[in-house]
Amino acid sequence: MRPTLIAIALLGTLAACHSTDTRKASPAAAAAPVSVPTTVTADAAFTDLSRRALDGWLRLSPVAATQIGDHAYDSELDDLSATGRQRGIDFARTLLAELDAIDATTLSRENQVDAAILRNQLQYGLWDAETQQGWATDPQVYSGLAGGAIYNLMAREFAPLPERLRSATARMEKLPALLAQARANLDPARVPKIHAETVARQNNGVLGIVDMFIAPHLGELTQAERLRAQNAISALKAAVAEHQRWLDGTLVPNAKGDFRVGQAIYDQKLRFALLSSLSRAEIRQRAEAELKRVRVDMYAIARGVLKGRPKAPPLPDVPSDAQQQAAIEAALELAYADKPARDQVVAAAEAALASATDFVRTKDLVTLPDAPVKIILMPEFQRGVAVAYCDSPGPLDKGLETFYAVSPIPDDWTPAQVDSFLREYNTRMIHLLSIHEGTPGHYLEGWHSARFPSTLRGVLRSGLFAEGWAVYTEKMMADAGYLDHDPLFRLVQLKFYLRTIANAILDQGVHVDGWTREQAMDLMVRQTFQQEREAAGKWVRAQLTSAQLPTYFVGVQEHFDLRKAVEAKQGAAFNLKAYHDQVLSYGAPPVRFVRALMLEEGIE
């Protein structure tokens, strides 16, 4: 699931949006509170409030609005100046006051869910703007906005090319001001060096987007428009070069911030980011228990595939830790031997996606999407955090492609580094990656979720739900017999699940317990069998992010718990496809709310 772009003054996790049109109110109306007559029902008052919240968010966050599919602000750019941030803070406080005035217990159950999500998001945005202050400490905010400002306009054909080029020209003219705001806002003493170095490498990526999507098509414009676009490109190149000099000469050498956020910030952020029923302690306890259980299951599979093979390690009924380790590693070597060539990773992902889709259709596991999906190379400005992501269109943009993006192997990697990567992303792992990012994972889930009528719920789509669902589908497909019940596929699936478990432990270990790189690499390489390149990349990701890596584990635990509860309630009447379609029918709120709606539990 692709991280989305939003003004830091609001810091929502704006993701997909749904079909209800929220663009009818004027900007002035969106920002101003409305006095609701006492005769208006609570549901009507909340509907009005949520509409104005969305109108205001989209007006204040034009880059996110484009991604969502509202194109009223395609020529505008987010304002992250002190004045712009204060507008976002004031807007959020006004909305919270109005939300407090509505008795949530009198709302419909669907609106109770939306109200809880809205409250959490408003509080999260205020907390980030005033306490975490990402606008002053994280240069990724600005590089993400700069790249997304152009990429979101040009990657999908939501409007005729000349129209999108004109909007891109207007945004290119404003990007030098955004980069200047970054230099004014960021405090090198509080910026972690890893953040500074990463953005210094990404900075020129926005020019790569211009070269790929804009420069070759300037002939589509009139002569006057073409001249304006060329001038905007020239000014942007100069601004990016100036910003690069500042990154290299000022920010990177003086970046002294601690990438470890500490327990107080972490616990607050975790509650906002996950909106889960599990506490940090419960997450850690579950993850450590699952780590032990899954290794036992992997050893059992290893004994089966290694039995009778020459030079197989000892395979006793009750192994020592060292014997368990050696057996699982030896079995995994059999899977690592089947890997794509360096230049065939994308082709392998395409074939795997087709295979997974055919299997879901044959087994009738869940309703399949009727919208297109395309595998692409990850844009340069988004590389360096994850190997792959799924980028669904904003559902206000109907019928457009979903992108399953894969990061290319860096040109400067040594043969040993390339081999390490391809051992990790072996043929069976690419099948799992395509299940996770494509079908029946993120791509399928995003299509289902976009059909829910609440625009608010779509904009505030839960990463916990989405990532948990994607991990859930990995096990579900293996349980259903994908790849003819291949034991090595099941072994690799469990290894992939170990990465999910390790993510949750790693995030706490780094940001709360002060783990060193050596401790992190031991968890990933030895305990959860990750290759060095994968583990090294995840170590960087753990430094660049916080409270995001646990979404996979916490989300899948809640999905597992939900399915178990529904199976227990329905007994022999339980139908897997009907269950999947129902789970996906609620627009991807946090899993705890899906559970409440399905099992008729209270909504907290």
Domain borders along the chain are 1-132, 133-258, 336-599
- 533: which residues sit within 8 A by CB, 6+ positions away? 413, 417, 420, 421, 424
pLDDT tens track for 333-385: 999 999 999 888 888 999 999 999 999 999 999 999 998 888 888 777 666 55
Residues 186, 249 contacting (CB under 8 angstroms): no
Residue 213's closest CA among 153, 173, 172, 159? 153
Q: How far apart are CA 604 and CA 589, in angstroms?
A: 13
Q: How far apart are CA 64 and CA 13, in angstroms?
A: 10
DSSP code per residue over 57-101: HHHH-HHHHHHHT--TTTT-----SHHHHHHHHHHHHHHHHHHHT
Q: Mark 413-442 as b/e (b = at least 16 C-beta within 10 Å).
A: eeeebebbbbbbbbbbbbbbbbbbbbbbbb
How long is the chain? 604
What pLDDT shows up at residue 394? 76
**CA atoms 129, 131, 137, 140: torsion sign:** negative
Residues 203, 244 contacting (CB under 8 angstroms): yes
What pLDDT shows up at residue 156? 87
Structure tokens at 151: 């990429």
Residue whose entry in the numeric block shows the structure tokens 């960021």: 186
Helix, strand, coil percentages for the chain (3-state, nearest 5): 70, 5, 30
565-573 contacts, C-beta under 8 A, 24 or more apart = 565/595, 565/599, 566/598, 566/599, 569/599
What pLDDT shows up at residue 155? 87
The list of the chain residues with pLDDT below 70 reads 1-40, 381-386, 395-396
Residue whose entry in the numeric block shows the structure tokens 């404003």: 174
Q: How far apart are CA 153 and CA 68, in angstroms?
A: 11
pLDDT tens track for 84-141: 999 999 999 999 999 999 999 999 999 999 999 999 999 999 999 999 999 999 999 9
